[in-house]
Amino acid sequence: MYAFEIERPSTIADAAKALKGDDAQALSGGQTLIPTLKARLAAPETLVSLTDIPEMVGICDGDDGSLCIGGATTHAAVAAGAGRYAGLAALAANIGDPAVRNRGTIGGSLANNDPSACYPSAALASGATIITNTREIAADDYFQGMFETALNEGEIVTEVRFPVPEASHYEKFVQPASRFALVGVFVAKFADGVRVAVTGASEGGVHRWTAAEESLSANFSADALTDLTVPADGLIGDLHGTPEYRAHLVKVMTGRAVNAAF
């Protein structure tokens, strides 16, 4: 590891100010950033830790019935405290291993937007709102491609606001070495329809499967998926699986998620 400075602000305002400095990088759980620094793929002069900001940690109920989770809340805390949203709590409980779950944060995951990460599928399927230090961003507008988001330079994910569905489930086909999703599907059933988000499959990152949403909104049953096909075009092909294999997994994982949702 190379030498760098670290700042530990105690307020969101101080963190935003620190990130305006020359070559400063936000540090949340560090589960992606620290390995990146070790590999010399990035070398910021200053890391700005977000873990000592009380207003960014914790889970509470919103006035509109939503579940509000601070951006610096760990995966383990989400697993333990998001029980009112069972699908989200179960997703958090199956991220990585205990070390990752006790250090990694929901805000860090969403800011990084790894194409195989779990939380982006939950945020997109839920129609969540990503709150930053400057604005609110709907999940449909937030995710913009592989490792790309609507965040501006120095913008901080301070909170994520999740509408709580009537039923939900996340089904993940685990890549055993990394514990990331080879393919993961989050299904959320609301009174006005169903949302389905897929992670790990597409070269463009997390995305919604709208054909499945339409069928499941009419009939919330795995049988509603029978006549649907998932095009392999644009899906990831690597040593772990071909695009065709991932297309098959998308449909299988969606059916399993629907069956488990209740």
CATH classification at residue 27: 3.30.43.10
Are 194 and 124 part of one and the same domain? no
Last residue of a domain, one of 121, 138, 162: 162
Are 177 and 145 part of one and the same domain? no
CA-atom Rg of the chain in angstroms: 18
The two tokens of residue 185 are: 């599907």
Is the torsion defined by CA of 155, 106, 56, 26 positive or negative?
negative
**How high is the pLDDT of residue 37?**
77
DSSP 11-75: SHHHHHHHTTSTTEEEESS-TTHHHHHHTTS---SEEEE-TT-GGGS-EEE-TTS-EEEETT-BH
Are 122 and 155 part of one and the same domain? yes
**How high is the pLDDT of residue 25?**
85
DSSP 84-150: TSHHHHHHHHTSS-HHHHHH-BHHHHHHH--TT-SHHHHHHHHT-EEEESS-EEEHHHHEEETTEES
**How high is the pLDDT of residue 1?**
62
Which residues contact residue 85 at a Cβ distance below 8 angstroms, ignoring those fewer than 6 apart?
67, 162, 164, 165, 168
The two tokens of residue 143 are: 């995710």
Q: Distance (Å, rounded) from C-alpha 240 to C-alpha 127?
A: 30
Are 30 and 74 part of one and the same domain? no
Is the torsion defined by CA of 231, 245, 190, 225 positive or negative?
positive
Are 99 and 121 part of one and the same domain? yes
Last residue of a domain, one of 99, 130, 162: 162
**How high is the pLDDT of residue 43?**
79
**How high is the pLDDT of residue 156?**
97
Q: Distance (Å, rounded) from C-alpha 124 to C-alpha 141?
A: 9
How many Cβ atoms sit within 10 Å of the Cβ of residue 15?
Answer: 25
Are 33 and 119 part of one and the same domain? no
- CA 120, 85, 205 angle in degrees (round to 5)? 10
Are 30 and 61 part of one and the same domain? no
- Integer distance in angstroms from the first to the last C-alpha of the chain? 47
Are 148 and 171 part of one and the same domain? no
Tell me if 142 sits within 8 A of 130, measured CB to CB: yes
CATH classification at residue 206: 3.30.390.50
Tell me if 230 sits within 8 A of 209, measured CB to CB: yes
Are 146 and 79 part of one and the same domain? yes
Last residue of a domain, one of 138, 162, 186: 162
Q: Distance (Å, rounded) from C-alpha 148 to C-alpha 10?
A: 27
Residue at 142: amino acid letter: Y
Tell me if 220 sits within 8 A of 213, measured CB to CB: no
Are 146 and 175 part of one and the same domain? no
Q: Which domain does 244 fall in, by range?
A: 167-260
Per-10-residue mean pLDDT of the chain, 262 residues long, equals 85 95 85 80 86 96 97 98 96 95 96 95 98 98 96 96 98 90 97 98 97 98 97 95 97 98 88
Are 250 and 180 part of one and the same domain? yes
What 8-state DSSP symbol labels residue 152? P
Are 45 and 100 part of one and the same domain? no
Number of compact structural domains in the chain: 3
Model's pTM, two decimal places?
0.95
CATH classification at residue 103: 3.30.465.10
